[in-house]
Amino acid sequence: MNTKTTFTIGEGFSSLDEKLVEYIDDVNANGESMNDVMKKVVSDFWTHGNAYVEIVLGAGYINLYHQDATTARVHKGKKKILFHPDWANVRTSEEKIKSIETYPNFQKEGKIKRAVVHFSDYESTYFFYGLPDYVAALDHIKIANQIGKYNLTRFKNGFMPSAIIELGADMSEDEAQQFIDEAREKLTGENNNSKMLFIAKNGEEAASNVQVIQDTSDGSFMELQTITNDNIISAHRWNPSLSGIQVAGSLGNNQQILTIYDIVMSTVIREPQQMILRELKKILKREGGYKVSDLHIINKPPVTMLGAINPTEYISLQEGRKIFHLPELTEEEMEQLLQEKNKVKDGTDNSDTSN
């Protein structure tokens, strides 16, 4: 989700209009830029399927604020958004509920007016709220969480002695309980694996018995973890290569990553980008009088093709030496260097250095 937010915001909002650029750099009384505010909004959108922007109009200014999606509820008439810091205990603190009109309607509070824009993705049968992409993988996310908890608990409570040695001896109940407590303390938890466990058996006259334990396990649910991860990534409509996850059988070169990036931009990122830009342009033009025709988001791909460019095809030897702060060569030194390079390149002694 962090990667989706990064790709959606890119390098931020941009425009050729100087007045709009000045506004983009400072959109509220907290000194936040439009990039700061909308990054939080986009993060909420990908996390919850819903995001909220508060508009505050005053004498000659328009401010934009992010409102935490977890504190927002849509009024049953859909004409207001209700905000409360703790909806689980709202009945004991109803006075903290703040109600704001849904844009394009405004409510007046003295000399200012307020409204809220609700960004949500359409989902059939969901009248008030949108749903995040990953909702189809909620069970798999729970499984991934439980696998982590299981393996952590196994490390904490794992009883993994390297051998069990039985000795014939008498032991009272109190001594047996003390033995159990000490064994648990010394043979479970970090740095306590592979120790030897001695057991004194009452009334046993037989010879001592030694059982060596071979632990060849390399973790539990490895296959289930892989399947779960794949299902989570698929639910996000994402590609693991864009999140730095190694994919077996994939080279992961720049051209391949750029191709995947283009596909994701077209199928996942572009639509919410356009939804956000469409609403922002409407608000800034109607309420602030800004020229918004060229307001856009500068997309930033995760890699570039600079690594595929051979610098020797575009700069001379002397220019290259200046870049690396090397002294300039004389004509004789240059000719000698070119001859040596031709020998290495062709495997022959080429004296022609005209190229």
The DSSP-derived string for 244-255 is T---TT----HH
β-pair partners for 120: 50
Instruction: Give the span between the Cα atoms of 10 and 12, in whole angstroms.
Output: 5
Number of residues that make up the chain: 355
Among 316, 318, 277, 278, smallest CA distance to 299 is for: 277
What does the pLDDT average to over 165-186? 69
Question: What is the pLDDT confidence band of residue 52, given thresholds at 50, 70 and 90?
Answer: very high
Of 162 and 8, the structure prediction assigns the larger pLDDT to 8
The set of residues, in sequence order, having a beta carbon less than 8 Å from that of 206 and lying 6+ positions away, is: 168
The set of residues, in sequence order, having a beta carbon less than 8 Å from that of 243 and lying 6+ positions away, is: 3, 233
Token pair recorded at residue 129: 């709220």
Burial status of residue 139 (CB atoms within 10 A of its CB: 0-12, 13-18, 19 or more): exposed
Instruction: Give the span between the Cα atoms of 270 and 20, in whole angstroms.
Output: 23
What integer pLDDT is reported at residue 168 of this predicted model?
58
Of 317 and 3, the structure prediction assigns the larger pLDDT to 3
Of the chain, the end-to-end C-alpha distance in Å amounts to 53
Among 186, 190, 214, smallest CA distance to 198 is for: 186
CA distances from 292 to 12, 15, 19, 44, 273 (A): 15, 8, 10, 25, 15
Enclosing H/E stretch for 346: helix 331-346
Cα-flanking dihedrals φ and ψ of residue 313, to 5°? -80, -10
Instruction: Give the span between the Cα atoms of 337 and 355, in whole angstroms.
Output: 13
What integer pLDDT is reported at residue 302 of this predicted model?
85
What does the pLDDT average to over 151-177? 66
Question: What is the pLDDT confidence band of residue 214, given thresholds at 50, 70 and 90?
Answer: low
pLDDT over 80 (residue 348):
no
Instruction: Give the span between the Cα atoms of 285 and 90, in whole angstroms.
Output: 37
Among 5, 83, 91, smallest CA distance to 276 is for: 5
What integer pLDDT is reported at residue 100 of this predicted model?
96
What integer pLDDT is reported at residue 112 of this predicted model?
94
Q: Which of 15-24, 86-95, 203-212 has the lowest mean pLDDT?
A: 203-212
pLDDT over 80 (residue 199):
no
pLDDT over 50 (residue 354):
no
The set of residues, in sequence order, having a beta carbon less than 8 Å from that of 244 and lying 6+ positions away, is: none
CA distances from 293 to 20, 30, 159, 284, 296 (A): 11, 27, 67, 11, 9
What integer pLDDT is reported at residue 163 of this predicted model?
57
pLDDT digits 0-9 by tens, 17-29: 999 999 999 999 9
pLDDT digits 0-9 by tens, 228-252: 888 998 899 898 888 777 665 555 5
Place of tokens 């004991």: 92
The DSSP letter of residue 74 is E
CA distances from 327 to 84, 98, 312, 313 (A): 68, 70, 18, 21
Token pair recorded at residue 161: 């002695």
Instruction: Give the span between the Cα atoms of 15 and 290, in whole angstroms.
Output: 11
